[in-house]
Amino acid sequence: MFSDAFVGLACTDCGASLTVDDADPEAIAGAGPCPDCGAPRVPKYDLDRVDPEQVRAGPRAWDRDAVLPFPAADALSAAEGGTPSVDAPRIADELDLGGVEIKDEARNPTGSVLDRGLSAAVTAADAAGADLVACASPGNAGQSMAAYAGRVDLRSYAFVPTRSPFSNKAMVNVHGGEMKVVPGRLGDAVDALEEELQADYVDLGAFASPFRHDGLKTVAYELLADRDWQIPDAIVLPAGTGELIVGVVDGLQECRELGLIDDLPTVYAVQAAGCAPIAAAWDDGTISTEPWETPDTIVGELEVADPSGGDLALAALDEVDGDALTVEDDEALESAVAVASTETVEVGLAGGIAAAGLWSLAEDGALGEDDGVVVLNTEAATKAPDVLRSHLMGQGV
């Protein structure tokens, strides 16, 4: 059932382990948070069993199954990954940077970087014999979960807040998933899932599934392969649940352990100023996030007031000498429009947060003329084109 290098799961707090040598395979595949302390569990690998050449080549995420939990032949996949790194010379010139590349995750099957993680998470649930998978989601994860569950006629149920974009809500149903629209924000959807869904289900929420963030580490492998395994000076990505930070840093560290790279780039996590629990904790120098009291950002995908992976994201940033910062909504919208109008790439709202972070880092002098930077666009602009259009209308366009 599992790949050769996968050895099991470990709790991120108490350290309790669930290994392939000691546990039933279906129990591992269907595992959630640690039953002893409630903390997230993460996959563990014996990288001595991995030939580095196994992960150098191949355009798609599951081409690197040597460092994923399941063999590619068993994965529920729709050819996720293989997304392009698009040169952005006009932005680099404007910001006086050595180079800028946009890793365009909008090219994934459902238009989101989360396809990488949900492909792995739904594969695990199906291997565990689940009858129902569910998650509370701002939108993209619910859509992605429904899409992959549909490949094996697995019932899926997404709980999404009213603020979720119409495109996400529509596509959950188009992919065959069930959906409950919950008044309020993401926290309300989380509460509704826990209180209202009475059937047995496998929770595929961020860090509820140990496999979801693990699939996201393939972003790191790909962006390094795109650069012929030469590390960029910096990677700038948007942050919500914390799973993308943790996944990308895990991937970078694995690449170094496998001898594919010698050093680690700096990773910058960018949040919307109206909902920034990770950035606030980073600025305070604490190791734990606190729930954001009044979340308010137009970037609904990142309006995560109490990120399940917040503490792990802070630890990951520390491991790569990273940093966290915030940008205003208007800056994110303006940056998304600027990228689309000058570099062709249609950047979504969350990607606009990352792009605005790039502008801020360049203007503040954190990045300079010798720096090559990769920026992650994590979702398709067509998720919420009305918001981008409204921003232009507000400027009289």
Tell me the domain boundaries of the chain: 85-112+212-394
Tens-place pLDDT, residues 318-368: 999 999 999 999 999 999 999 999 999 999 999 999 999 999 999 999 999
Residue reference for tokens 């081409």: 63
Tens-place pLDDT, residues 19-56: 999 899 999 999 999 999 999 999 999 999 999 999 99
Domain 85-112+212-394 matching CATH 3.20.20.70: the answer reads no
The HSE-up count of residue 53 (CA atoms within 13 Å, CB side) is: 0
pLDDT band at residue 396 under the 50/70/90 scheme: confident
pLDDT band at residue 57 under the 50/70/90 scheme: confident
The HSE-up count of residue 199 (CA atoms within 13 Å, CB side) is: 10
Put simply, whether the predicted model's pTM sits higher than 0.95 gets the answer: yes
Mean pLDDT of 92-103: 98
Tokens of 158: 């997404």
H helices of the chain, where? 25-29, 53-56, 89-95, 114-127, 140-149, 166-174, 186-196, 212-216, 218-226, 243-257, 277-284, 310-319, 329-343, 349-363, 385-394
68 has pLDDT over 90:
yes
Closest CA to 221 of 379, 387, 56: 56
Residue reference for tokens 């994860």: 141
- Residue 292, sorted as left (phi over 0), alpha (psi -120 to 50) or beta, turns out to be beta
Backbone angles phi, psi at 13, to 5 degrees: -115, -65
Tens-place pLDDT, residues 133-146: 999 999 999 999 99
The pLDDT, as a whole number, for residue 152 is 97
Closest CA to 215 of 304, 293, 112: 112
Tokens of 269: 């996590």
| Neighbouring residues of 81: CB distance < 8 A, sequence distance ≥ 6 | 59, 60, 61, 62, 63, 108, 116, 218, 222
- Residue 85, sorted as left (phi over 0), alpha (psi -120 to 50) or beta, turns out to be beta
Residue 166 CB-density burial (10 A; 0-12 exposed, 13-18 middle, 19+ buried): exposed
Q: Which helix (H) or strand (E) holds 132?
A: strand 132-136
